[in-house]
Structure 1
Amino acid sequence: MPRVNELKYTSVEVCAGAGGQAAGLHNAGFKHAALIEIDKDACQTLRANTSSNPEWAGCKVIEADLKLFDPHSLGMAKGDLDLLAGGVPCPPFSAAGRQLGRDDERDLFPRMLELVDELQPKAVMIENVRGLLDPKFAPYRQEIRKELESLGYEECYWEVLEARKYGVPQLRPRAILVAMKPEYAAHFEHTKPEERPEVVVGEALHDSMRARYDAVDDPRAELAFKRWYEKALEGVAPTLVGGSKKHGGADLGPTRAKRAWGDLGVCGLGVANEPDDMKDPERDLFAAAGPKLTVTQAALIQGFPSEWKFSGRKTAAYRQVGNAFPPPVAQAVGEQIYAAFEAAGRG
């Protein structure tokens, strides 16, 4: 999705990962002052995509543990920042992470609220897994609401947004919290962003898959491509799972997800090499279950722009993609925040 607004409002993003939220907010018109991330490979991805791009001029990529990060190092006075955004760690609220909530040492909501207090941005955007909105976390959510209110913010919404409704060819529900200073919240549309046309896997991957088959001199290629494409037009993908460094190599998720990928003509047992590094066409393109996805193709399933590049070895790069926030969803929310700022300025 192209940038739709002038780069006009400042943003700082924490837990930036590989830049999914950053790319989406950039397209919505936010000029990033800093991207803060703890993972070395993800930081290199952020630098690779921003350092030589004039549209990202002035953006600092800061490799830091958020718990130890000093916001004063940004050189901003309280109230200077327009938007503080971030995707705080999901495991405390996900089924895979045992949903320990506040008792999970990985819960960074308290630190995020401290940063809100220290920076006093005009708006706050926080994304997390859908599980955060489960009934068991209602008391914790209420504490967060009260803390934001005490800091001078009005909640605009805290809703589950389904990525497939915003042009992402994937089932990926995310819980999104938007809060703003009252003078801006008064101009915010207190509803979910307007939905966008659905994109199926076949549409998203047609050109890249065509190029992969064209790159091999094999008489089976044309028929294999057609078989894959026919299945891939049937719908959107299951949720990509990035996993953690504690687990083995990259693949496309648990057994149920692999079956869903199989219905779309894709083999979920691993991740393929990129075309210019393909060593085993039998494994990557001609498996009985269909072709495996490359990291680049997984990124297209997340809604990343095709030019966004990922650093690190294949497994590390895939994990960055699988753990990302889809840029088109971030853009849709960012456009709402941008519109509220614009309306407040006219008011």
Structure 2
Amino acid sequence: MKAIELFAGAGGLGMGVSLAGFKPELIVEWDRWCCDTLRENRKIKESIIAKWPAPIEGDVRDVDYRPFEGKIELITGGPPCQPFSIGGRHRAHDDSRDMWPEAVRAVREVRPRAFIFENVKGLTRETFSTYLGYILLQLTFPSIKLGPDEDWQDHRDRLQRHHTSGGKIEYRVIHQLVNAANHGVPQKRERVVFVGFAEGIEADWCFPRETHSLDALLHSQFKSGEYWDGHKVATKDRVINERFQTRGQRLSAKPSELPWRTVRDALAGLPEPTPRDKDHGILNHKLQPGARSYVGHTGSSLDEPAKTLKAGVHGVPGGENMLRRADGSVRYFTIRESARLQAFPDNYALHGAWSEAMRQLGNAVPVTLSEVVAKSVRDHLIASTMQAGKA
């Protein structure tokens, strides 16, 4: 099945989509460092993206999607999230970086059978509830364009009237706040995922069921001890989260889900990083000095999923991008360690200096999460086609 990837970034969402069985026909990304990363990894024969087309390095607003009309099964992308992020200016549509209108335009011009878009948790805040509703209406009726002299509130009202008066739905859209840790990613990363299917495709799809849980992790740590035994962690080296200890000890039956994956799980097999002049021969695995702990930025525990990796401000990643050892000391995650926390493969090279590579990873979608969602969408499209063929 053919796909288009917008706002590709370092390739996290696109890699998951490729692993789910889609072949990208067009890749668009404006950031030159991200494009360098994509170009570099296309040269690696074993890379997931080896057969991707070269990325279009430029503004999505300059791309004409009409040649792809009716030829694409899936459009994916993560429109820039700064207008909605906790650390942003919270201006939504009034922020020039809001690229949701371009995501909608791509759907309007291509008419794919389905789409997957993602954005930050901040989009679900009450402050943005009206604009979130507007996004959903645009995705449901992409052919109803914003007029040349129409502001977005008037456009929203027009879309709403069309909807309530029984206007024909073009795409059936579902959105959900998803925690990547619940799908096997070693990171507590919450994102809003939007999935839409073109009218005419059977609409009995729902988000994939969660496969991992905190209770399963706590059971393996505080009841069975399987977690510590599996990692051969001595009692003195165990980092115990007192907030979780009581909850874990109260558990009786073993949960049916798999345990949340932890930082220790993710980093298994990687040696302790060394200074920049030594790297163990492991790609992007060098120690970055300067980490320090302060209020609100205490790093991620080894024995829990990592905190949400962040792109940082002015090239400085936040304290979430640190590892907190058993003795309380901290150090920055290496690029390779951060890549593992985002489920990027070990042969995937991040282009640029440490801060630049960390920015790319902080903006990425975990590969595992995108694969889970995209595979479910692909299975649904296949089932719908087979069902239509029997009709």
- Range of TM-score over shorter length: 0.7 to 0.9
**Per-residue deviation, residues 255-282 of structure 1 (Å, max 9, x unmatched):** xx37x842x559xxxxxxxxxxxxxxxx
Distance change (3 Å), C-alpha of 1:135 and 1:291: closer
Residue 196 (structure 2) pairs with residue 179 (structure 1): yes
Q: For residue 192 of structure 1, report the CA deviation from its aligned partner.
A: 4.2
Shift of 1:160: 0.7
Gap runs ≥5 in structure 1 = 1-8, 217-230, 267-287
Which residue type is aligned with residue 102 of structure 1? Answer: H
After superposition, residues 89-238 of structure 1 pair within 5 angstroms as 89-151=80-142, 152-188=169-205, 190-196=206-212, 197=258, 198-209=260-271, 233-238=302-307
Equivalence for 2:150: none
**Does structure 1 conserve the Cα–Cα contact (< 8 Å) formed by 2:73 and 2:112?**
yes
- Between structures 1 and 2, the one with greater helix share: 1
User: Matched residue of 1:158: which SS?
Assistant: strand
Segments ≥4 residues shifted beyond 6 Å: 213-216
2:357 corresponds to 1:297:
no
- Larger mean Cα displacement after TM superposition, 98-107 or 45-54: 45-54
Identical positions, percent = 30
How does 1:70-85 map onto structure 2 within 5 Å? 70-72=64-66, 75-76=67-68, 78-85=69-76
Give the letter aligned to residue 122 of structure 2.
Answer: G
Partner of 1:241 in structure 2?
A: 310
Identify if the C-alpha distance between structure 1 residues 158 and 207 changes in structure 2 by more than 3 Å, giving closer, same or farther: same
1:344 corresponds to: 384
**Offset, 1:187:** 4.6
Letter in 1 for 2:55: V
SS in 1 for 2:192: strand
**Range that drifts further, 57-66 or 304-313:** 57-66
- Give the TM-score of the pair, scaled to structure 1: 0.77
**Distance in 2 (alpha carbons) for counterparts of 1:83 and 1:341:** 10
Choose the corresponding residue for 1:64, options 53, 58, 61. 58
Larger mean CA deviation between 149-158 and 126-135 belongs to 149-158
Larger Rg: 2
State the Cα deviation string for residues 33-84 of structure 1 (Å, max 9, x = none). Answer: 1221011111111122224548643523110111222224xx42x1211111
CA–CA distance in 1 between the matches of 2:372 and 2:137?
A: 26
Question: What residue identity is the alignment partner of 2:103?
Answer: M
Mapped to 2, the partners of 1:296 and 1:192 lie a distance apart of: 28
With structure 2 as the length reference, what TM-score do the two structures score? 0.69
Could you say which residue in structure 2 is the equivalent of 1:311?
A: 351
Structure 2 residue aligned with 1:44: 36
User: What is residue 30 of structure 1 aligned with on the other side?
Assistant: 22
1:335 to 1:138, Cα distance in 2 relative to 1, 3 A: same
Q: What's the offset of the Cα at 1:114?
A: 1.0
| Structure 2 residue matching 1:132: 3-state secondary structure | helix
Measured after TM superposition, the shift of residue 156 of structure 1 is 4.1
Q: Measure, in 1, the Cα distance between the counterparts of 2:210 and 2:189.
A: 17
Distance 1:193 1:36 in 2: 30
Superposition RMSD in Å: 2.5
Stretches of structure 2 lacking an aligned partner (at least 5 in a row): 143-168, 213-257, 281-299
Q: Cα–Cα, structure 1 residues 191 and 317, in superposed 2: closer, same or farther, change >3 Å?
A: closer
The answer on whether the counterparts of 1:183 and 1:344 sit within 8 Å (CA) in structure 2 is no
Partner Cα distance (2:90, 2:21) in 1 = 35
Letter in 1 for 2:359: R
Q: 2: CA distance between counterparts of 1:185 and 1:53?
A: 38
2:11 to 13, 19, 26: 19
1:193 and 1:333 in contact (8 A); partners too:
no
- Structure 1 residues 149 and 305: CA distance shift in structure 2, 3 A: same
Which secondary structure does the structure 1 equivalent of 2:135 belong to? helix
> Could you give the per-residue CA deviations for residues 155-186 of structure 1, whole angstroms, max 9, x where no partner exists?
34211110111111111100000011123352
Deviation of residue 144 (structure 1)? 2.2
In 2: Cα distance, 1:58 partner to 1:206 partner: 30
Contact 1:242/1:321 (CA < 8 Å) preserved in 2? yes
In the TM superposition, residue 328 of structure 1 has moved relative to its aligned partner by: 0.8
User: Partners in 2 of 1:60 and 1:123 — Cα distance?
Assistant: 23
